Structure 1
Amino acid sequence: MTDDQRTARIFGVLFIITFLTSIPAVLLFGPVLEDPAGYLAGGGSDTQIYLAAFLEFLLIISNVGTAVVLYPIAMRRYQTLAISFVAARIMESVFIASGIMFVLAVVALRHEAPEAADVAVSLVALKDLSFLFGPGLIVPIGNGLILGYLMYRSGLVPRRMAWFGLIGGPLLLIGQLGVLFDVWDAGSAARVLVVPEAIWELFVGFYCALRGFRRDSPILSSEP
């Protein structure tokens, strides 16, 4: 296995890890996000929230990792796209990290000021906003448009699949902008518009983890 194909598999595994950490974290955060006042009153487990926070910490590492491991290969011909993807992943992770802090602040309130239900509600609202601006608005640009265009131009994965990112990114962006401007709520049209982007990210993860990059891509090192 060449270094490029080893990198491809690491890239794919890291992408899969982003799914394996982000989805369980959202579910585990449920008691705080759905009823912050009830959580302060004793209706939840701190250990569950700490586990969710740890999973999102792993999500941050895997997020940045996907861009860092791809960078040396992508920069051979597409320096601007390569650094743009790194920047997008870092900015997304900044918003994720801020969301972790907001939720953990609710846990702290439970122990220090359990009567501060209004503050807890405000912190959860900030958590929701951090999700909207990070995974909601940056992901369609970074993972959709930037990564999709990079993969389309480079041919590291089948170009026909890269169209899921090129189309899914703008659709997801429209969906999240609709949420931001109160055109619809997060549980309606936004959920439908996320499907092409989700297909794209799952494909990239599993394709690269199982098969590596396409060996006829012009930016890869020569195969032995």
Structure 2
Amino acid sequence: MDSTRRIAAVAGGFFLVTEIAAIAGVLLYRPVLDDPRYIVGSGADSRVFLGALCELVLVLAIIGSAVTLFPIIRRRNEGAAVGYVCARLLEAAVIVVGIVGILSVVTLRQDLAGAADTDTASAVTVGKSLVAMHDWTFLCGPNFILGANSALLAYVMYRSGLVPRFIAVLGLVGGPLICASAIAVMFGLYEQVSVVGSVAAIPVFAWELALAGRLITKGFQPSPVTPARLRPSQ
């Protein structure tokens, strides 16, 4: 396996891990996200910790995908390569803020457990605030910023022909669509977790899955930025 084929397989693996880790994190977080009184309840802390671990894996996979693809994208468009890495790092940083917010809810719940002088109303308010912070980071990171970096990567892939064009088109459609959806949620047109929001996320989800599958199984298509078009001395 040559170096470019290896890069493609590793990058595809990172994209696949991001999808699995993101879904697992959201599902495992459900107790704290769905119960506004979680902070004063019995809790499901182990499950939430596992969800946080999944999101940390997500963060590492996001960074890994950007770093792995950088040398390939740079051969075609250095500015886009730098922009993509920066956008992925920003997305990862925003997700980390959300993780800290959820873990803070768990810490406060454990500190308040059994305390006789607990102000329940105030504690619930604090818990809701931390969960709201997570919800906003989810909207900004894995929605708006993800949409922007997906569109950027899809543009490079489309122009360079590194992957079949129908895959790149999924990113060109899905990226702007999920960005628009995030803006609509921000202005209260519909809820973040809703049928409309879910439908808007399908193209970008399909883009990442299709890209991951292509890179893992077949790698990049021959193009001016891959070794197939370079002289042996290069």
Q: Is the 8 A contact 2:11 2:65 kept in 1?
A: yes
- Which letter maps to 2:8? A
Q: Is the 8 A contact 1:37 1:117 kept in 2?
A: yes
1:188 to partner: Cα distance: 3.1
d(CA) in 2 for partners of 1:3 and 1:36?
50
The answer to whether 1:136 aligns with 2:126 is no
- 1:60-209 aligned within 5 A: 60-114=59-113, 115=120, 116-143=123-150, 145-186=151-192, 187-209=194-216
- Partner residue of 1:23? 23
1:113 to partner: Cα distance: 2.6
- Which letter maps to 2:44? S
1:91 to partner: Cα distance: 0.5
- Partner residue of 2:116? none
- Percent of aligned pairs with the same amino acid: 38
Q: State the TM-score, normalized to the length of structure 1.
A: 0.95
1:39 to partner: Cα distance: 4.8
- Listed as ranges, the gaps of 5+ residues in structure 2 are 114-119
Q: Is the 8 A contact 2:38 2:109 kept in 1?
A: no
d(CA) in 1 for partners of 2:40 and 2:219?
47
Q: State the TM-score, normalized to the length of structure 2.
A: 0.91
d(CA) in 1 for partners of 2:132 and 2:9?
37
The answer to whether 1:210 aligns with 2:209 is no
Q: Is the 8 A contact 2:95 2:138 kept in 1?
A: yes
Q: The residue matched to 1:65 in structure 2 has which SS?
A: helix
Q: Who wins on radius of gyration, i.e. which is larger?
A: 2
d(CA) in 1 for partners of 2:228 and 2:211?
22
d(CA) in 1 for partners of 2:28 and 2:228?
45
More displaced stretch, 105-114 vs 20-29: 105-114
Q: Is the 8 A contact 1:71 1:83 kept in 2?
A: yes
Q: Is the 8 A contact 2:155 2:172 kept in 1?
A: yes
More displaced stretch, 115-124 vs 95-104: 115-124
Q: CA RMSD in A?
A: 1.3
1:132 to partner: Cα distance: 0.6
Q: Any idea what the Cα deviations from partners look like across 1:65-99, whole Å, max 9, x if unmatched?
A: 10100101111121011111101110100111000
- Which letter maps to 1:101? V
Q: Is the 8 A contact 2:38 2:127 kept in 1?
A: no
d(CA) in 2 for partners of 1:153 and 1:39?
50
- Which letter maps to 1:184? Y
Q: Any idea what the Cα deviations from partners look like across 1:17-42, whole Å, max 9, x if unmatched?
A: 00111101100000000113135311
